[in-house]
């Protein structure tokens, strides 16, 4: 189970809405499975159905997390027009199997849906998200 403070949870949704109709992307840092910080990143693909994080942006976040004694808990991105389930591309690009993948669906504009997954070589496993007030 991933524990996300309510303020960070809604910050991810706002990020997704701001970037729509393009996919947004970012990293959640913290300890264990408890999120302590969100790192909003730039989608270098500039696409509505793909995202990528530049190596420079990724290294910058990794350095900040190391300086703050954090680890990468999850990578998040949005699906502006589809359900919150990993696409074939999402599965191929899941380079960190120990890190959760969070997808924010904006398919229903006024009802964003946020789901988490563990993407492994053999299967996609749903994960629970606990939003902490």
pLDDT (tens digit per residue) in 25-65: 999 999 999 999 999 999 999 999 999 999 999 999 999 99
Provide the phi-psi class of 9: left if phi over 0, else alpha when psi is between -120 and 50, else beta: alpha
Residue among 78, 36, 27 at smallest CA distance from 54: 27
Which pair of tokens denotes residue 7?
């303020």
Residue 62: its pLDDT value, please? Answer: 97
Full set of structural domains in the chain with CATH: 2-132 (3.40.140.10)
pLDDT (tens digit per residue) in 72-91: 999 999 999 999 999 999 99
- Whether this prediction's pTM lies above 0.85 is answered by yes
């Amino acid at each position: 189970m991933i524990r996300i403070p309510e303020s960070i949870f809604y910050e991810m949704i706002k990020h997704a809405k701001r970037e729509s109709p393009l996919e947004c992307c970012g990293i959640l840092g913290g300890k264990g499975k408890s999120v302590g910080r969100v790192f909003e990143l730039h989608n270098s693909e500039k696409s509505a159905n793909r995202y990528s994080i530049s190596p420079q942006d990724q290294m910058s976040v990794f350095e900040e997390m190391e300086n703050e004694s954090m680890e990468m808990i999850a990578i998040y991105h949005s699906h502006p027009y589809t359900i919150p389930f990993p696409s074939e591309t999402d599965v191929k690009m899941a380079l960190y199997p120990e890190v959760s993948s969070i997808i924010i669906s904006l398919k229903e504009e006024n009802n964003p849906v946020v789901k988490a997954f563990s993407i492994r070589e053999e299967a996609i496993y749903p994960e629970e998200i606990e939003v902490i007030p």
